[in-house]
Chains A and B, each alone.
Chain A
Amino acid sequence: MTTTMEPATSGGVIGERVLRKEDPRLLTGQARFTDDLVVPGALWAVLVRSPIAHGRIRSIETSAARAMPGVRAVLTGEDLAGEWAAPMPCAWPVTPDMKNPAHWPIARGFVHYQGEPVAVVVAETRAQAVDAAAAVELDLEELPAALDLEAAATGAPLAHEDLESNVSFVWSLKPDEEAVERAFREAAVTVSERYVQQRLVPSAMEPRAVVVVPQPVDGSFTVYSATQIPHILKLMLALTMGVPEHHVRVLAPAVGGGFGSKLDVYAEELACFALARRLGVPVRWTEERGENTVATIHGRGQIQHIELAATAEGRVTAVRVRLLADMGAYLQLVTPGVPLLGAFLYHGVYDVPAYSFECTGLFTNKTPTDAYRGAGRPEATYAIERAMDTLARKLNLDPAEIRRRNFIRAEQFPYSSTPGLVFDSGSYHENLAKALEVAHYEELRAEQASRRAAGDRRHLGIGISCYVEMCGLAPSRVLASLSYGAGGWEAATVRVLPTGKVQVVTGSTPHGQGHETTWSQIVADRLGIDVADVEVLHSDTAISPLGMDTYGSRSLSVGGTAVYLACERVLEKAKRIAAHQLEAAEEDLEYAGGAFRVKGSPTKELALGAIAFEAFTAHNLPEGVEPNLEAQVTWDPPNFTFPFGTHIAVVEVDEDTGRVELVRYVAVDDCGNQVNPMIVEGQLHGGIAQGVAQALFEEAVYDESGTLQSASLADYLVPSAAELPSFTLDHTVTPSPTNPLGVKGVGEAGTIGSAPAVVNAIVDALAPFGVVDVPMPATPERVWRAMNARATK
Chain B
Amino acid sequence: MRIEMTVNGEPRSADVEPRTLLVSFLRDVLGSTGTNIGCDTSSCGACTVLVNGESVKSCTVLAAQVDGEEVTTIEGLAGPDGELHPLQAAFMEHHALQCGYCTPGMVMASLSLIREHPDLDEAVVRRGLEGNLCRCTGYHNIVRAVLAAKERMEVIA
* A689 partner residues in chain B, CB cutoff 8 A: 137-139
Which secondary structure characterizes the binding site on chain A?
A: loop
A714, B135: Cα distance in complex, Å: 15
- Asked if residues B41 and A712 are in contact (CB atoms below 8 Å), the reply is yes
- Asked if residues A721 and B38 are in contact (CB atoms below 8 Å), the reply is no
Q: Known contacts A29-B75, A512-B98, A727-B140; decide if A289 and B103 are in contact (CB<8 Å).
A: no
- Asked if residues A29 and B126 are in contact (CB atoms below 8 Å), the reply is no
Q: Known contacts A206-B101, A255-B99; decide if A720 and B40 are in contact (CB<8 Å).
A: no
- Asked if residues B136 and A257 are in contact (CB atoms below 8 Å), the reply is yes
- Asked if residues A290 and B40 are in contact (CB atoms below 8 Å), the reply is yes
Nearest A residue (CB) for B88: A27
* A678 partner residues in chain B, CB cutoff 8 A: 95
* Contact-size category for B: 35 or more
Which secondary structure characterizes the binding site on chain B?
A: loop
The reply to whether the CB of A24 lies closer than 8 angstroms to some CB of chain B is yes
Q: Known contacts A28-B74, A33-B36; decide if A682 and B141 are in contact (CB<8 Å).
A: yes
A31, B103: Cα distance in complex, Å: 11
From residue 23 to 39 of chain A, which have CB atoms closer than 8 A to chain B?
23-24, 26-33, 35-36, 38
Residue of B31, B41, B84 with most chain A CB atoms under a 10 A cut-off:
B41
A685, B138: Cα distance in complex, Å: 5
**Nearest chain B CB to A535 CB, angstrom units:** 19
Residue of B41, B91, B140 with most chain A CB atoms under a 10 A cut-off:
B140
* A24 partner residues in chain B, CB cutoff 8 A: 82, 84, 92
Q: Known contacts A29-B75, A257-B136, A682-B141; decide if A204 and B84 are in contact (CB<8 Å).
A: no
Q: Known contacts A288-B40, A512-B98, A720-B132; decide if A29 and B138 are in contact (CB<8 Å).
A: no
A338, B102: Cα distance in complex, Å: 29
The reply to whether the CB of A205 lies closer than 8 angstroms to some CB of chain B is yes
Q: Known contacts A23-B97, A713-B41, A720-B133; decide if A28 and B88 are in contact (CB<8 Å).
A: yes
**Nearest chain A CB to B135 CB, angstrom units:** 5
A690, B141: Cα distance in complex, Å: 15
The reply to whether the CB of B151 lies closer than 8 angstroms to some CB of chain A is no
* Contact-size category for A: 35 or more
Nearest B residue (CB) for A31: B100
From residue 48 to 99 of chain B, which have CB atoms closer than 8 A to chain A?
73-75, 77-78, 82, 84, 88, 91-93, 95, 97-99
* A513 partner residues in chain B, CB cutoff 8 A: 98
Q: Which of B32, B41, B139 contacts A720 (CB 8 A)?
A: B139
A255, B93: Cα distance in complex, Å: 22
**Nearest chain A CB to B122 CB, angstrom units:** 7
17 contacts between A and B (CB under 8 A): A19-B93, A23-B91, A26-B99, A29-B104, A203-B135, A204-B135, A205-B133, A206-B38, A207-B38, A289-B39, A511-B99, A512-B98, A513-B98, A689-B137, A720-B139, A721-B130, A726-B122
Query: Closest 8 CB pairs between A and B?
Result: A29-B34, A256-B101, A26-B100, A512-B99, A689-B138, A713-B43, A685-B138, A36-B33
